[in-house]
Amino acid sequence: MYILSVIIPEGKIVAFRSSPDYSDNPYALYKYMLRHRAYADYRFVWYVDDVRNRQVVKAIQAENSSVVVPINALQQWWYLLRAKYLIYSHSFYNDYHFRNRCKRINLWHGTGFKKVGIDNNEEPVNSDFLVTTNTIWQRYLAHSFELPIENVWVTGEPRTDLMFTTTDFFRRLRIDPKAYSSIGIWLPTFRKHILLDSLEGQYDETKLAGFSMDELSALDAFLQRINGLLIVKLHMYDKLQQVAFPTFSNILVVRPKDFQSQLYPLLGATDYLITDYSSVSFDYDVLNRPMAFVLNDMKQYIDRRGFYEADIEEKLPGKIVNTLNDLIEFIRAPKQYMVDTHNRFNDFKDANVSKRVVEHMLALDRR
Protein backbone atom coordinates (compact mmCIF):
# COMPACT_ATOMS: atom_id res chain seq x y z
CA MET A 1 0.00 0.00 0.00
CA TYR A 2 2.80 2.40 0.88
CA ILE A 3 4.63 1.74 -2.42
CA LEU A 4 1.42 2.23 -4.41
CA SER A 5 0.74 5.49 -2.58
CA VAL A 6 4.16 6.73 -3.71
CA ILE A 7 3.61 5.69 -7.33
CA ILE A 8 -0.01 6.80 -7.80
CA PRO A 9 -0.42 10.60 -7.71
CA GLU A 10 -2.61 12.14 -5.05
CA GLY A 11 -5.78 13.79 -6.33
CA LYS A 12 -8.35 16.30 -5.14
CA ILE A 13 -10.41 13.67 -3.40
CA VAL A 14 -11.92 13.44 0.09
CA ALA A 15 -13.17 9.96 0.98
CA PHE A 16 -15.62 9.17 3.80
CA ARG A 17 -16.52 5.96 5.59
CA SER A 18 -18.55 5.24 8.71
CA SER A 19 -20.19 2.51 10.72
CA PRO A 20 -23.13 2.17 10.26
CA ASP A 21 -22.94 3.26 6.62
CA TYR A 22 -23.48 6.97 5.94
CA SER A 23 -23.87 8.07 9.56
CA ASP A 24 -22.23 9.42 12.68
CA ASN A 25 -19.22 11.77 12.71
CA PRO A 26 -18.16 11.34 9.05
CA TYR A 27 -21.73 11.99 7.89
CA ALA A 28 -22.00 15.14 10.00
CA LEU A 29 -18.70 16.52 8.69
CA TYR A 30 -19.62 15.63 5.12
CA LYS A 31 -22.95 17.47 5.43
CA TYR A 32 -21.18 20.55 6.76
CA MET A 33 -18.64 20.49 3.92
CA LEU A 34 -21.43 20.24 1.35
CA ARG A 35 -23.47 23.04 2.92
CA HIS A 36 -20.53 25.42 3.28
CA ARG A 37 -18.77 24.39 0.07
CA ALA A 38 -15.63 23.39 1.93
CA TYR A 39 -13.26 21.67 -0.49
CA ALA A 40 -15.76 22.48 -3.22
CA ASP A 41 -13.21 21.75 -5.95
CA TYR A 42 -12.63 18.24 -4.58
CA ARG A 43 -14.46 15.06 -5.48
CA PHE A 44 -16.26 13.44 -2.56
CA VAL A 45 -16.29 9.66 -2.28
CA TRP A 46 -18.36 7.56 0.13
CA TYR A 47 -17.34 4.02 0.97
CA VAL A 48 -20.16 1.77 2.13
CA ASP A 49 -19.71 -1.70 3.60
CA ASP A 50 -22.55 -3.14 1.57
CA VAL A 51 -22.94 -1.55 -1.87
CA ARG A 52 -25.91 -3.85 -2.44
CA ASN A 53 -27.81 -1.76 0.09
CA ARG A 54 -29.45 0.38 -2.52
CA GLN A 55 -31.33 2.40 0.08
CA VAL A 56 -28.07 3.80 1.49
CA VAL A 57 -26.53 4.37 -1.93
CA LYS A 58 -29.70 6.13 -3.13
CA ALA A 59 -29.72 8.34 -0.03
CA ILE A 60 -26.12 9.37 -0.65
CA GLN A 61 -26.60 10.17 -4.32
CA ALA A 62 -29.95 11.89 -3.74
CA GLU A 63 -28.18 14.45 -1.55
CA ASN A 64 -25.24 14.85 -3.90
CA SER A 65 -25.47 13.36 -7.38
CA SER A 66 -21.77 13.92 -8.04
CA VAL A 67 -20.59 11.81 -5.10
CA VAL A 68 -18.90 8.53 -5.97
CA VAL A 69 -19.77 5.25 -4.25
CA PRO A 70 -17.11 2.72 -5.31
CA ILE A 71 -18.81 -0.50 -6.36
CA ASN A 72 -15.86 -2.70 -7.31
CA ALA A 73 -12.36 -3.46 -6.06
CA LEU A 74 -10.55 -1.40 -8.69
CA GLN A 75 -12.60 1.72 -7.91
CA GLN A 76 -12.13 1.21 -4.19
CA TRP A 77 -8.35 0.99 -4.40
CA TRP A 78 -8.09 3.83 -6.90
CA TYR A 79 -9.94 6.34 -4.74
CA LEU A 80 -8.35 5.07 -1.55
CA LEU A 81 -4.86 5.65 -2.91
CA ARG A 82 -5.60 8.99 -4.59
CA ALA A 83 -7.56 10.56 -1.73
CA LYS A 84 -6.01 13.59 -0.07
CA TYR A 85 -7.97 12.79 3.09
CA LEU A 86 -9.65 9.68 4.44
CA ILE A 87 -12.31 10.74 6.95
CA TYR A 88 -13.75 7.82 8.88
CA SER A 89 -14.95 6.34 12.15
CA HIS A 90 -13.88 3.18 14.00
CA SER A 91 -10.73 1.32 12.92
CA PHE A 92 -10.89 1.34 9.13
CA TYR A 93 -7.57 1.52 7.28
CA ASN A 94 -5.80 0.34 10.41
CA ASP A 95 -3.37 -1.92 8.53
CA TYR A 96 -2.42 0.53 5.79
CA HIS A 97 0.52 2.90 5.56
CA PHE A 98 0.53 5.85 3.17
CA ARG A 99 3.09 8.30 1.94
CA ASN A 100 0.85 11.15 3.06
CA ARG A 101 1.18 11.34 6.85
CA CYS A 102 -1.82 13.67 7.07
CA LYS A 103 -4.21 11.38 5.21
CA ARG A 104 -6.12 9.51 7.91
CA ILE A 105 -8.46 11.74 9.92
CA ASN A 106 -10.13 9.36 12.33
CA LEU A 107 -13.28 10.88 13.80
CA TRP A 108 -13.66 7.70 15.87
CA HIS A 109 -17.09 7.02 17.42
CA GLY A 110 -17.24 9.07 20.56
CA THR A 111 -15.33 10.32 23.57
CA GLY A 112 -16.31 8.53 26.76
CA PHE A 113 -15.36 6.90 30.03
CA LYS A 114 -14.44 3.51 28.54
CA LYS A 115 -10.80 2.74 27.84
CA VAL A 116 -9.82 2.11 24.23
CA GLY A 117 -6.68 1.17 22.32
CA ILE A 118 -3.57 0.24 24.27
CA ASP A 119 -5.28 1.28 27.51
CA ASN A 120 -7.78 -1.51 26.82
CA ASN A 121 -5.00 -3.98 25.95
CA GLU A 122 -5.80 -3.67 22.24
CA GLU A 123 -3.61 -2.88 19.27
CA PRO A 124 -3.61 0.90 18.81
CA VAL A 125 -5.76 2.14 15.94
CA ASN A 126 -3.49 3.65 13.32
CA SER A 127 -4.54 7.22 12.57
CA ASP A 128 -2.82 10.45 11.65
CA PHE A 129 -5.30 12.68 13.48
CA LEU A 130 -8.12 12.16 15.94
CA VAL A 131 -10.85 14.35 17.44
CA THR A 132 -12.04 14.59 21.03
CA THR A 133 -14.24 16.78 23.18
CA ASN A 134 -11.91 18.37 25.74
CA THR A 135 -8.34 18.69 26.92
CA ILE A 136 -8.71 16.07 29.68
CA TRP A 137 -9.57 13.33 27.18
CA GLN A 138 -7.06 14.71 24.69
CA ARG A 139 -4.31 13.35 26.94
CA TYR A 140 -6.05 10.01 27.45
CA LEU A 141 -6.69 9.42 23.76
CA ALA A 142 -3.24 10.56 22.64
CA HIS A 143 -1.85 7.79 24.83
CA SER A 144 -4.45 5.20 23.75
CA PHE A 145 -3.86 5.85 20.04
CA GLU A 146 -0.10 6.47 20.41
CA LEU A 147 -0.39 9.90 18.79
CA PRO A 148 1.39 13.16 19.55
CA ILE A 149 -0.97 15.19 21.70
CA GLU A 150 -1.16 17.96 19.07
CA ASN A 151 -2.55 15.38 16.62
CA VAL A 152 -5.63 14.94 18.81
CA TRP A 153 -7.83 17.89 17.93
CA VAL A 154 -10.06 19.29 20.67
CA THR A 155 -13.00 20.17 18.45
CA GLY A 156 -15.91 18.17 19.85
CA GLU A 157 -17.71 15.37 18.02
CA PRO A 158 -19.05 16.51 14.60
CA ARG A 159 -22.18 14.41 15.05
CA THR A 160 -23.33 16.70 17.86
CA ASP A 161 -23.88 19.44 15.27
CA LEU A 162 -26.77 17.31 14.02
CA MET A 163 -28.55 17.62 17.38
CA PHE A 164 -29.41 21.16 16.35
CA THR A 165 -31.14 20.01 13.14
CA THR A 166 -34.60 18.56 12.46
CA THR A 167 -35.23 14.81 12.69
CA ASP A 168 -37.34 12.78 10.26
CA PHE A 169 -37.78 9.96 12.79
CA PHE A 170 -41.30 10.88 13.90
CA ARG A 171 -42.53 11.53 10.38
CA ARG A 172 -41.23 8.17 9.19
CA LEU A 173 -43.09 6.35 11.99
CA ARG A 174 -46.17 8.60 11.80
CA ILE A 175 -45.75 9.72 15.39
CA ASP A 176 -46.92 13.14 16.53
CA PRO A 177 -44.34 14.25 19.12
CA LYS A 178 -46.68 17.02 20.28
CA ALA A 179 -49.09 14.36 21.53
CA TYR A 180 -46.72 13.50 24.41
CA SER A 181 -45.92 15.39 27.59
CA SER A 182 -42.27 14.33 27.29
CA ILE A 183 -40.09 12.23 25.01
CA GLY A 184 -37.03 10.43 26.33
CA ILE A 185 -34.48 8.18 24.69
CA TRP A 186 -32.72 5.19 26.23
CA LEU A 187 -29.44 4.20 24.58
CA PRO A 188 -27.89 1.17 26.28
CA THR A 189 -24.47 0.11 25.08
CA PHE A 190 -24.11 -3.56 24.20
CA ARG A 191 -23.12 -6.17 26.76
CA LYS A 192 -22.96 -9.20 24.47
CA HIS A 193 -21.67 -8.60 20.95
CA ILE A 194 -23.94 -9.93 18.22
CA LEU A 195 -21.02 -10.80 15.90
CA LEU A 196 -18.08 -11.52 18.19
CA ASP A 197 -17.61 -13.90 21.08
CA SER A 198 -17.19 -11.08 23.56
CA LEU A 199 -19.01 -10.09 26.72
CA GLU A 200 -18.80 -6.70 28.39
CA GLY A 201 -20.69 -6.44 31.64
CA GLN A 202 -23.74 -8.55 32.46
CA TYR A 203 -25.93 -10.06 29.74
CA ASP A 204 -29.36 -11.60 30.21
CA GLU A 205 -31.68 -12.01 27.22
CA THR A 206 -34.70 -11.74 29.54
CA LYS A 207 -33.69 -8.25 30.69
CA LEU A 208 -32.77 -4.83 29.36
CA ALA A 209 -29.79 -3.51 31.32
CA GLY A 210 -30.91 -5.39 34.43
CA PHE A 211 -34.61 -4.51 34.09
CA SER A 212 -36.93 -7.50 33.65
CA MET A 213 -39.71 -7.54 31.06
CA ASP A 214 -42.24 -7.24 33.90
CA GLU A 215 -40.45 -4.13 35.17
CA LEU A 216 -40.47 -2.68 31.66
CA SER A 217 -44.21 -3.35 31.47
CA ALA A 218 -44.66 -1.50 34.78
CA LEU A 219 -42.58 1.37 33.38
CA ASP A 220 -44.78 1.37 30.29
CA ALA A 221 -47.89 1.64 32.49
CA PHE A 222 -46.34 4.64 34.28
CA LEU A 223 -45.53 6.30 30.94
CA GLN A 224 -49.15 5.80 29.89
CA ARG A 225 -50.33 7.61 33.01
CA ILE A 226 -48.10 10.63 32.42
CA ASN A 227 -48.52 10.45 28.62
CA GLY A 228 -44.78 10.13 28.07
CA LEU A 229 -42.93 8.36 25.26
CA LEU A 230 -39.66 6.49 25.81
CA ILE A 231 -37.66 5.43 22.74
CA VAL A 232 -35.30 2.52 23.40
CA LYS A 233 -32.77 2.29 20.57
CA LEU A 234 -30.69 -0.86 20.76
CA HIS A 235 -26.98 -0.71 19.95
CA MET A 236 -25.91 -1.91 16.49
CA TYR A 237 -23.82 -4.69 18.09
CA ASP A 238 -26.27 -5.63 20.86
CA LYS A 239 -27.35 -9.27 20.85
CA LEU A 240 -30.60 -8.11 22.47
CA GLN A 241 -31.83 -7.10 19.03
CA GLN A 242 -32.60 -10.80 18.49
CA VAL A 243 -34.88 -10.89 21.55
CA ALA A 244 -38.66 -10.55 21.32
CA PHE A 245 -39.83 -7.75 23.63
CA PRO A 246 -43.41 -7.49 24.94
CA THR A 247 -45.82 -5.20 23.13
CA PHE A 248 -45.70 -1.80 24.80
CA SER A 249 -47.85 1.26 24.24
CA ASN A 250 -45.52 4.06 25.38
CA ILE A 251 -42.13 2.35 25.13
CA LEU A 252 -40.87 2.13 21.55
CA VAL A 253 -38.10 -0.47 21.12
CA VAL A 254 -36.16 0.23 17.91
CA ARG A 255 -33.78 -2.34 16.47
CA PRO A 256 -30.87 -1.17 14.30
CA LYS A 257 -32.28 -2.78 11.15
CA ASP A 258 -35.49 -0.79 11.56
CA PHE A 259 -33.83 2.55 12.31
CA GLN A 260 -33.80 4.54 9.07
CA SER A 261 -33.07 7.99 10.52
CA GLN A 262 -29.92 9.71 11.70
CA LEU A 263 -29.58 9.29 15.47
CA TYR A 264 -28.30 12.72 16.43
CA PRO A 265 -31.15 14.86 15.09
CA LEU A 266 -33.43 12.54 17.10
CA LEU A 267 -31.35 13.14 20.23
CA GLY A 268 -31.91 16.85 19.78
CA ALA A 269 -35.67 16.28 19.75
CA THR A 270 -35.75 14.51 23.13
CA ASP A 271 -36.23 15.87 26.64
CA TYR A 272 -33.90 13.50 28.48
CA LEU A 273 -31.42 10.67 27.97
CA ILE A 274 -31.03 7.34 29.75
CA THR A 275 -27.79 5.50 29.07
CA ASP A 276 -24.91 3.76 30.88
CA TYR A 277 -21.21 3.69 29.99
CA SER A 278 -21.82 4.92 26.45
CA SER A 279 -20.00 7.91 24.99
CA VAL A 280 -23.39 9.38 24.08
CA SER A 281 -23.50 11.05 27.51
CA PHE A 282 -20.59 13.27 26.45
CA ASP A 283 -22.57 14.21 23.32
CA TYR A 284 -25.83 14.88 25.12
CA ASP A 285 -23.97 17.09 27.60
CA VAL A 286 -23.70 19.64 24.77
CA LEU A 287 -27.48 20.13 25.01
CA ASN A 288 -27.45 20.76 28.77
CA ARG A 289 -30.42 18.43 29.27
CA PRO A 290 -31.13 15.82 31.99
CA MET A 291 -29.44 12.42 31.94
CA ALA A 292 -29.80 9.21 33.94
CA PHE A 293 -27.42 6.26 34.10
CA VAL A 294 -28.13 2.53 34.47
CA LEU A 295 -25.04 1.00 36.10
CA ASN A 296 -26.44 -2.36 37.17
CA ASP A 297 -23.26 -4.26 36.25
CA MET A 298 -20.55 -1.76 37.17
CA LYS A 299 -18.20 -4.30 38.78
CA GLN A 300 -18.36 -6.72 35.86
CA TYR A 301 -17.91 -3.89 33.37
CA ILE A 302 -14.84 -2.56 35.18
CA ASP A 303 -13.35 -6.06 35.30
CA ARG A 304 -13.93 -6.68 31.60
CA ARG A 305 -13.42 -3.21 30.14
CA GLY A 306 -12.42 -0.51 32.59
CA PHE A 307 -12.57 3.29 32.58
CA TYR A 308 -10.10 6.12 32.20
CA GLU A 309 -11.05 7.54 35.57
CA ALA A 310 -11.94 5.92 38.88
CA ASP A 311 -15.19 6.52 40.78
CA ILE A 312 -17.13 7.51 37.69
CA GLU A 313 -20.37 7.22 39.69
CA GLU A 314 -19.36 10.48 41.39
CA LYS A 315 -18.51 12.17 38.08
CA LEU A 316 -21.51 11.22 35.98
CA PRO A 317 -23.60 14.17 34.77
CA GLY A 318 -26.88 12.81 36.11
CA LYS A 319 -28.81 10.41 38.31
CA ILE A 320 -27.98 6.69 38.70
CA VAL A 321 -31.16 4.63 38.16
CA ASN A 322 -30.59 0.95 38.96
CA THR A 323 -34.13 0.26 40.21
CA LEU A 324 -37.56 0.70 38.69
CA ASN A 325 -38.47 3.28 41.34
CA ASP A 326 -35.33 5.27 40.55
CA LEU A 327 -36.14 5.16 36.85
CA ILE A 328 -39.73 6.29 37.40
CA GLU A 329 -38.61 9.05 39.76
CA PHE A 330 -36.23 10.38 37.13
CA ILE A 331 -38.74 10.26 34.26
CA ARG A 332 -41.40 11.95 36.42
CA ALA A 333 -39.24 15.08 36.87
CA PRO A 334 -35.96 14.80 34.92
CA LYS A 335 -35.08 18.49 35.19
CA GLN A 336 -34.55 18.28 38.93
CA TYR A 337 -31.58 15.96 38.27
CA MET A 338 -29.78 18.33 35.95
CA VAL A 339 -26.03 18.63 36.61
CA ASP A 340 -24.02 21.67 35.54
CA THR A 341 -20.89 20.07 34.10
CA HIS A 342 -19.28 23.31 32.87
CA ASN A 343 -16.51 22.07 30.51
CA ARG A 344 -15.77 18.83 32.35
CA PHE A 345 -16.76 16.79 29.27
CA ASN A 346 -16.92 19.35 26.47
CA ASP A 347 -14.76 22.40 25.93
CA PHE A 348 -17.38 23.58 23.43
CA LYS A 349 -21.17 23.41 23.64
CA ASP A 350 -22.30 24.65 20.27
CA ALA A 351 -23.09 23.53 16.71
CA ASN A 352 -19.68 24.49 15.27
CA VAL A 353 -17.74 21.25 15.67
CA SER A 354 -17.52 20.45 11.96
CA LYS A 355 -16.38 24.01 11.31
CA ARG A 356 -13.48 23.53 13.73
CA VAL A 357 -12.50 20.21 12.10
CA VAL A 358 -12.44 21.83 8.65
CA GLU A 359 -10.30 24.66 10.03
CA HIS A 360 -7.78 22.07 11.23
CA MET A 361 -7.80 20.45 7.78
CA LEU A 362 -7.21 23.80 6.09
CA ALA A 363 -4.31 24.40 8.46
CA LEU A 364 -2.81 21.09 7.30
CA ASP A 365 -3.11 22.27 3.69
CA ARG A 366 -1.10 25.37 4.54
CA ARG A 367 1.78 23.44 6.06
pTM listed for this prediction: 0.94
pLDDT score, position 203: 79
pLDDT score, position 298: 83
pLDDT score, position 94: 87
pLDDT score, position 142: 97
Instruction: Report the chain (367 residues): mean pLDDT per 10 consecutive residues.
Output: 93 95 97 97 93 84 91 92 96 90 95 92 90 97 96 98 98 97 94 78 84 96 98 91 93 93 97 96 97 90 84 90 97 95 95 98 94
Domains and CATH numbers, the chain: 2-156+350-365 (3.40.50.11820), 165-337 (3.40.50.12580)
* Secondary structure of the chain in HEC code, one letter for each residue: CHHHHHHCCCCCEEEEECCCCCCHHHHHHHHHHHHCCCCCCCEEEEECCCCCCHHHHHHHHHHCCCCECCCCHHHHHHHHHHCCEEEECCCCCCCCCCCCCCCEEECCCCCCCECCHHHHCCCCCCCCEEEECCHHHHHHHHHHCCCCHHHEEECCCHHHHHHHCCCCHHHHCCCCHHHCCEEEEECCCCCEECCCCCECCCCCCCEECCEEHHHHHHHHHHHHHHCEEEEEECCCCEHHHHCCCCCCCCEEEECHHHCCCCHHHHHHCCCEEEECCCCHHHHHHHHCCCEEECCCCHHHHHHHCCECCCCHHHCCCCEECCCHHHHHHHHHCHHHHCCCCCCCCCCCCCCCHHHHHHHHHHHHHCC
pLDDT score, position 238: 87
pLDDT score, position 132: 98
